Amino acid sequence: MGAGSVPARYLVYFQYLGTDFNGVAAVRGVQRAVGVQNYLEEAAERLNSVMPVKFTISSRTDAGVHALSNAAHLDIQRRSDLPPFSPEVLTEALNTHLKHPAIRVLQAFRVPSHFHARHAAISRTYLYRLATGCPRPDRLPVFERNRCWALQAHCLDVAAMQEAAQHLLGTHDFSAFQSAGSPASSPVRTLRRASVSPDPTSPFVLPEESRQLQFWSMEFESQSFLYKQVRRMTAVLVAVGLGALMPAQVKAILESRDPLGKHQSRVAPAHGLFLKSVLYEGLGKRK
């Protein structure tokens, strides 16, 4: 057998339902806890790379958070007598060997050896789903459980939420919305977009329930986010929508730079959050 060819680097997009996982990152040496990365790397072992395959994840998500499209880069070094996998073959092979039904590889690209999935991303978009008119958790359709934050309130003041969101747009010190344990060297981020909008009726809601249940989407776009920043911003904007905060108070919270304040210390549940997209220059748009 040959010593091995030059490693080929790939960018792969993948999606997952986060309910069963301890986040996207691999969990090493711990029983009863597993990350999405563990399953991806287990599938990659079947590709017979000369060197072990490690996924470098673009965007880390916590336990219970989902992804419509996350990304990672990996290197595969085949025997010297074998050509590199085509992106299409790599996608099919990984999906064939994946052992968890809640993970799917969407697409792969060949990228230069210096490409880095985390550092090269130019945009990340998160989606947060809400449901109003749900007096008890068991009133939510089983198909929507663990996929949205169910609120007892019958409605949200969307205009107030949109007004409040305007205070978050632009470049700011987001320390007030950062949870402890963040590895970021700076709390300054640029929020390009923050939107709140009603969703069409869920196809999983029975007609007799559709009058009570209303679904909502919140989207946030930035090149990068602080640890739990999106879930903290969501919680504050929901408080505005419920009338517990005024839009102007969101500006004061932001300017306080205090993550332990009365209102901003709440974190929206993980199960309503989806990483919607990670974009790279010249590599197309995946959602």
3-state secondary structure of 109: strand
d(CA 195, CA 153): 20
Residue 10 assigned as binding residue: no
Reported residue count of the chain is: 287
**Catalytic-role residue among 62, 81, 138, 157:** 62
> Catalytic: 173?
no
d(CA 222, CA 64): 21
135 secondary structure, DSSP code: S
Place of tokens 């806890």: 33
Are 251 and 167 in contact by the 8 Å Cβ rule? The answer is: yes
Nearest-10 crossing angle of helices 87-97, 36-45: 110
Pairs from 88-95 (Cβ < 8 Å, separation ≥ 24): 90/10, 90/12, 90/47, 91/12, 93/43, 93/46, 93/47, 94/12, 94/40, 94/43, 94/44, 94/47
Catalytic residues: 62
- Binding-site entries for substrate: 126
- Binding-site entries: 126
